[in-house]
Amino acid sequence: MDRFKALQTFLDVAKSESLSVVARGEGVTPAMVGRRIDQLEEQLGVKLFKRSTRKITLTPEGTVFFEDVRNILNELRAAEESLSVGAKNATGRLIVSAPTSFGRKHIAPYLPAFVEAHPNLTVTLNLSERIVDLKNERVDLAVRIADLKNADLIASKLARNHRVVVGSPDYFKQHGKPSSLDDLAKHNCLMTATESGLADSWTFLSPNHPGQAAKGARPLAPATVTLKITGKMHCNDGEVLTRWALAGHGLAWRSAWEVAEEIERGRLVEVLPTFAAPGNDIFAVYPDRKFLPAKVRLFIDFLKSTFGDPPYWEQTGDLKGIVSATNRAQSLKSEANRRAANAKHSNTTA
């Protein structure tokens, strides 16, 4: 039996507390995983797990062994990664996690080109709305569209993101187009339903953008306004909201990457572009580590190059009009952050 394979299996079973979960991840039977554990216990002469019909848990000896094995394998990976830092070709297996809709639209179509460029690499793309634990799960890289605040993770920005208000041409023929934020109260707004309730607020740039801060005053960030909206149809699936908008049932507030193709085809029309505020940007996230594997670095570079700056979904049709507004908002935000950082540095060194 491959000693390192056995140790990795031991770690995976300890984390998941299930032979079946580990077996499904590897594409083998639970019995095969169980035999690996049996052989490892026989070699060590100690029981590592307590097994029941419901789950498998570590014995006290197994708990001590778990910490040692995790440290050993982490050191081994770090040594391997140190050799591949400057590599120009990716090898091995790359496991990527991404949100379902974004992954379908903007990652999966381009993966074949990346694999073709790196023939010694295999890629697994896991699409899910679940936030994976990058430190304890076997995932190399996660794509996230979020306001990242976890200092334990390293994030590399792949593309900016913003939201647009859209409706179908038929809907606007019947109900007219909103020309101001106040007009949204006259429309059926399709809302996202969450476990904690309805997401009945949409955020926009304020009609009165902030001017330059007075001398000595705190830097101004782009002013935004959050509006309560109303509507008769709600769903926890963003794709359903988009389909309802396509069918003429109301207005949807969607990310540009979700609806750019429909806007380009004329099936959806974007309104209120001058009020579009920057949203949570799109990031590649990976655990903090001493060395970044070549396969991760090269895939991040590939996605950045594929998406472009501005991203390609902003460079078609009516969305071109929103680029300038988004650029302005991002510039204001960046300038405010820069000034705040300079002010903090000045106070620290004073």
Radius of gyration, alpha carbons of the chain: 25
- For residue 310, whether the previous peptide bond is cis, meaning omega lies within 30 degrees of 0, is yes
* Per-residue confidence (pLDDT) for residue 11, from 0 to 100: 87
Which one-letter DSSP state was computed for residue 177?
-
- Nearest CA among 275, 244, 277, 280 for reference residue 259: 244
pLDDT tens for each residue of 155-187: 899 999 989 999 999 999 999 999 999 999 999
Average pLDDT, the chain: 82
A 10 A CB-CB count for 152 gives 8
Q: How many Å apart are CA 162 and CA 226, to the nearest integer?
A: 15
Torsion over CA: 28, 30, 31, 35 (sign): positive
Q: Is residue 149 pLDDT above 80, yes or no?
A: no
Query: What's the mean pLDDT in 182-210?
Result: 86
Do 100 and 127 touch, CB atoms closer than 8 A? yes
pLDDT digits (tens, 9 = 90+) for 4-40: 888 888 888 888 888 888 888 888 898 998 899 999 8
The rounded distance, in Å, linking the Cα atoms of 255 and 53 is 45
| The model's pTM | 0.67
Helix (H) or strand (E) holding 331: helix 320-349
**Tokens encoding 121:** 């690499």
* CB-based contact 44:66 (threshold 8 Å): no
